[in-house]
Structure 1
Amino acid sequence: MSEPKPIVPRPLMRWAPLLVVGVLGLLLAAGVWMSRNPNREALPSPLIGKTAPAFELPVLHEAGRLFGTRDLQGAPYLLNVWGSWCPACRDEHPVLTRFAETKRVRVVGFNWNDEHADALRWLEEFGNPYWIVVTDRDSKAVIDWGIYGAPETFLVDGKGVVRWKFVGPLTDKVIADELLPKLAEIERGR
């Protein structure tokens, strides 16, 4: 004799997929709101005050060329993590471009988990503010840097020490209130 099947009310079965989609939609909306909320607290990074993780990655615009932390020694740089798949990166891009045009510090693009052609097309469409762009398509270097999303931005001094990190899209206010004071400290030798 077979066991009786549990009886699930039909109205509940009919609404279950809609309920799941609704909950996922609320979670997504909350994540977007949190990423754009200017009052959120900065996420701490265990890298602040420590030597930046070493990397050697392919250069987006030069097939076969590798570039890494050894090539960046001696002068500060801003490492900006981005991807063509990242909507917030599109919001950040004009701000980052204006900052890069000041040539106050080298801005290094860290293209993450992207198809080569998509990354090139994105930069062609929106402009290339970067001094150089490295690619981490296989997500190997992001683990060492503690990157879990894009955009993320790191300020590294000339000695290779991470001095500042920002998670989310850079804004003019973040640059003025947070990045520029940290950069000034580096320039004064602090």
Structure 2
Amino acid sequence: MKRWIAFLPLAALLVLGGLFAAYGLRHDPRYIPNARVGQAMPDAVLPPLSGGAPVRLSSVVQPATLVNFYASWCAPCIQEEPTLMALKAEGVRIVGVAWKDDPQKTRAHLAQHGDPYALTLVDRDGRTGVDFGVSGVPETYLIGADGKILAKVAEPLTADSAEQLLERSGGKR
């Protein structure tokens, strides 16, 4: 009887391993939750990178505004810079949110790679990102005229993904 008890931990480990394997085989690792899409944008108040009084995010968002969460320490954020600069040249309004970043490093990043943002806000503690549902940077949200999140891209923007994102705005740029 004592020998049987010695195998209980091994049996439990095998059962847990089987459960995790079953979950892993049915789980899509590329799935990114869009829980906030279709809901009102969180109405955060954040300080602008340029200094001055904190700004209510809803007051700077216009129809078809992109809210882009990024950081100076984020390599994929550098990948999407050319796309963001091209969108700015097309007249697309982009509000940048420096997520969990040092403002000095953010300024240096924008000076080095270009500044595609109409306004850059600072989310130093990351709370606004959490409210939006940010799981990592870069993430870009399309905000509609009514303040609702119309769509989300949770990877570096490319010309194609940016075009698909802006199509959700109803053609308003």
Answer yes or no: same fold by TM over 0.5: yes
Go from structure 1 to structure 2 and tell me whether the alpha carbon gap of 1:128 and 1:86 turns closer, same or farther (over 3 Å shift): same
> Does the CA contact (< 8 Å) of 2:66 and 2:142 recur in 1?
yes
User: 1:70 deviation in Å?
Assistant: 3.2
Give the partner amino acid of 1:145. Answer: F
Give the corresponding residue for 1:57.
46
Give the partner amino acid of 2:57. Answer: T
Number of residue equivalences? 144
Give the corresponding residue for 2:100.
113
Give the partner amino acid of 2:40. Answer: T
**Secondary structure of 2:116 counterpart:** coil
Go from structure 1 to structure 2 and tell me whether the alpha carbon gap of 1:41 and 1:182 turns closer, same or farther (over 3 Å shift): farther
Matched, 1:173 2:160: yes
User: 1:72 deviation in Å?
Assistant: 2.7
The Cα offsets for residues 84-133 of structure 1, whole Å up to 9 and x where unpaired, read as: 00000001111111111101x31000101111110000101111110000
Task: Give percent identity, aligned residues only.
Answer: 30
Gaps of 5+ in 2: 1-28
**Secondary structure of 2:140 counterpart:** strand
1:123 to 96, 100, 110: 110
Normalising by structure 2, we get a TM-score of 0.77
Matched, 1:164 2:115: no
Residues 88-107 of structure 1 aligned to structure 2 (within 5 Å):
88-103=76-91, 105-107=92-94
The Cα offsets for residues 125-157 of structure 1, whole Å up to 9 and x where unpaired, read as: 111110000000111211111112000000001
Stretch of structure 1 that moved more, 158-167 or 67-76: 67-76
Go from structure 1 to structure 2 and tell me whether the alpha carbon gap of 1:97 and 1:73 turns closer, same or farther (over 3 Å shift): closer
Go from structure 1 to structure 2 and tell me whether the alpha carbon gap of 1:51 and 1:186 turns closer, same or farther (over 3 Å shift): farther
Gaps of 5+ in 1: 1-39
